[in-house]
Amino acid sequence: MHPAKLFNRIHRNDNYTHIGKQLSYKFHLEHKDRIIYVLFQGSNGFSDWLHNFMAIPSHMEPYEGCGWRVHKGFARVWRSGNDVIMRELTMLTKLFPDYEIIFGGFSHGAPLSMLAAQNWMHLTRERRKCVTFGSPRLAWGDAARRVLQAAMYHTNWVNRADIVTTVPLKSMGFNHIFEHLVNVRRIPFLSNLRVYKHHQIYGNPDIYPDNWESL
């Protein structure tokens, strides 16, 4: 699925299930291509924004012990319902055993999709694709980057004019595990005043490189 089409599929507010601490997810099956998409919604309400601002390193127990840390808010949301999602995904793979699994998310949902991919890797030892758009930084420190890089084939679409992708700050120890830049001309000062425009731009197919499938 082209990245712009996948973004629009994620961004549409239909069919999401909300569990735990407003952990919002949905499954989308592409039977023609034999793919199970596990998708996570962007910020939707006060609770999501509250967790977005919890930019404190948090241990990722119980998946890998205490050896790596991520953004506390996203870890908190994921832990509030991860068992449910993993259980439902396991049932889907039994119904469609030859289907590929792709995790995806936008904004607040992007780090959750990464944690989902890592959780799946921990449970099954299967490294799957994860495609994210406009993601805040999730990993804290080199250990977290190594764990997440090893857990998934990750494509992280970043608009350099999208301020959401710059938080939490690198100076706080947070980093993206990968960055794939879209082709958007940046006006350094004015772009920061047009947060909504630059954060919602990922549905435009013209901004993606021709070789997006090979990234």
Is 215 among the domain residues?
no
Find the angle CA(117)-CA(165)-CA(203) to the nearest 5 degrees. 80
Pairing of strands 57-59, 17-19: unpaired
Task: Give the contacts of 123 (CB within 8 A, at least 6 positions apart).
Answer: 86, 90
Q: How far is CA 213 from the centre of its chain?
A: 18
Is 214 among the domain residues?
no
Q: How far is CA 76 from the centre of its chain?
A: 15
Is 213 among the domain residues?
no
- Residue 130: per-residue pLDDT: 98
- Residue 191: per-residue pLDDT: 59
Is 91 among the domain residues?
yes
- Residue 187: per-residue pLDDT: 60
* Domains contained in the chain, number: 1
In which domain, by residue range, is 15 found?
3-208
pLDDT digits (tens, 9 = 90+) for 61-108: 766 666 899 999 999 999 999 999 999 999 999 999 999 999 999 999
We report the CATH number of the domain holding residue 80 as 3.40.50.1820
Give the residue, 7 or 54, on which the prediction is more confident. 7
Is 47 among the domain residues?
yes
pTM of the model: 0.94
pLDDT digits (tens, 9 = 90+) for 18-38: 999 999 999 999 999 999 999
Residue 196 has pLDDT above 70, yes or no: yes
pLDDT digits (tens, 9 = 90+) for 142-163: 999 999 999 999 999 999 989 9
